[in-house]
Structure 1
Amino acid sequence: MAQLIEIRDLSKVYERGRQKVEVLHHIDLNVAQGDFVALMGPSGSGKTTLLNLIGGLDVPTGGSISVGGQRIDQLKSAALAKWRASRVGFVFQFYNLMPMLSAQRNVELPLLLTKLSAAERKKRAAIALQLVGLADRASHKPTELSGGQQQRVSIARAIVSDPMLLVCDEPTGDLDRQSAEDVLALLRVLNRDHGKTIVMVTHDPKAAEYAHRTHHLDKGSLVGQAETSAVAA
């Protein structure tokens, strides 16, 4: 299977005053197209930093990252932002929805960066909301939705531009167990039936069971990989 993500000798160093903190140490990682990968490890292990580098939200100090054949570590800021907007969908723990906008308008937000007409943006947002099971909540604002519904709106927003990669940072961390399972089942459908490659950071072993494999980080290094028996559909 073709590799979507190829990471070689990746390092990340942050400077805090005169102190240098190396958060990631010489990471090598491949993620195949159509894979569903979980990143696990204790707090401070570098999981979110690695996820942000994969999604183009940050840039490495050393090494290389290729996504879909594109060396994103070599892109300048403006080019990286354009690549990120067209190739990656982001799902965060706390939804990051605009409170004064309806679900429909929240989902449309990434499309404002495109040349699509207002009618086409609305049509695509409606399709994305239907896909996540919230077509009947399109006019509702975030405060009128449950936590699980808000996360599904954020997933609709993440997929509305048809990205090749979804990066998810603790997508179930703020949800009760049933809502978490509903969101994870949705991610599995997007992976299995719609071919989305997913990289997910999680502290929850039950969430990691939905992935095909789990990579463990500790103190900025990859320390192990485990195949998972995906939760039954």
Structure 2
Amino acid sequence: MGNIVSLRKVAKRYTRGKEVVEVLHSLDLDIAEGDFVALMGPSGSGKTTLLNLIGGLDRPTEGEVIVAGEHIDRLSGAALARWRARHVGFVFQFYNLMPMLSAQANVELPLLLTHLSAAQRRANALTALTIVGLADRARHKPSELSGGQQQRVAIARALVADPTLLVCDEPTGDLDRRTADEILGLLQVLNREHGKTIIMVTHDPKAAEYARRQLHMDKGALVDGQQVS
């Protein structure tokens, strides 16, 4: 399999007043199709910035970001939004579900940008909820679901458009250990049985053990990597 992500000499700088803060320093990274990578590092190490560049939520100051065969650093804002909708499913620490919508309606939201019929959107949403083990909760609103169930709905929403990769930012940071392990086990199944490429930022060494590979960042640079399985 080829690389799904290739970064070359990527730098990211922000200006705060008169101060220039370099968050990423001339970083190179390759992630193969079908990999499950845990990005680790202390707060401020640049791991979420790196994740946002890979997911097309931000742009590099310098360097190339090639994801799913596209130089996404060169895309216009509108083209980048279309690319994100097609290729990236996002899972965040806080589930970002619409409280007045059912689980099924929340999962359908990304499909509103497509040309699918209402019936096909419903069918696809139910398929995604089935994959995460929540088909029987399709009509429940977020307030009627546990934290773990809400995160499963968020994962189903990330999956529903069949993205090329899943980008996860501290997906278990708000969950207890047992529920976190269930969610991580689900991500592992999505990777190993459904072939999804997953990039996950985590500060939790136990969470990182579920990945195939661990990458460690410090002060805007990759310091080492570890193959897990």
Q: Once the two structures are aligned, what percentage of the paired residues are identical?
A: 70
Q: TM-score scaled by structure 1?
A: 0.97
1:19 positional shift:
1.6
Which residue of the partner structure matches residue 209 of structure 1? Answer: 209
1:18 positional shift:
2.1
Which residue of the partner structure matches residue 65 of structure 1? Answer: 65
1:185 positional shift:
0.6
| TM superposition outliers: structure 1 runs of 4+ over 6 Å | none
Local SS of the residue matching 1:194: coil
Which residue of the partner structure matches residue 9 of structure 2? Answer: 9
1:15 positional shift:
1.3
Please list the CA deviations of residues 39-66 of structure 1 after superposition, one character each: whole Å capped at 9, or x if unmatched. Answer: 0000000000000000000000000011
The number of equivalent residue pairs is 229
Which residue of the partner structure matches residue 54 of structure 1? Answer: 54
Local SS of the residue matching 2:133: coil
> What are the equivalent positions in structure 2 for 1:27-106 lying under 5 Å apart?
27-106=27-106
Please list the CA deviations of residues 174-214 of structure 1 after superposition, one character each: whole Å capped at 9, or x if unmatched. Answer: 00011101100100111011110000000000110011111
Alignment gaps of 5+ in structure 2: none
Whole-angstrom distance in 1 between the partners of 2:214 and 2:36: 9
1:82 positional shift:
0.3
Please list the CA deviations of residues 18-37 of structure 1 after superposition, one character each: whole Å capped at 9, or x if unmatched. Answer: 22111000110000000000
Q: TM-score scaled by structure 2?
A: 0.99
Local SS of the residue matching 1:23: strand
Which residue of the partner structure matches residue 24 of structure 1? Answer: 24
Local SS of the residue matching 2:193: helix
Q: Contact 2:5–2:68 at 8 Å: present in 1 too? A: yes
1:145 positional shift:
0.4
1:150 positional shift:
0.3
Letter paired with 2:28:
D
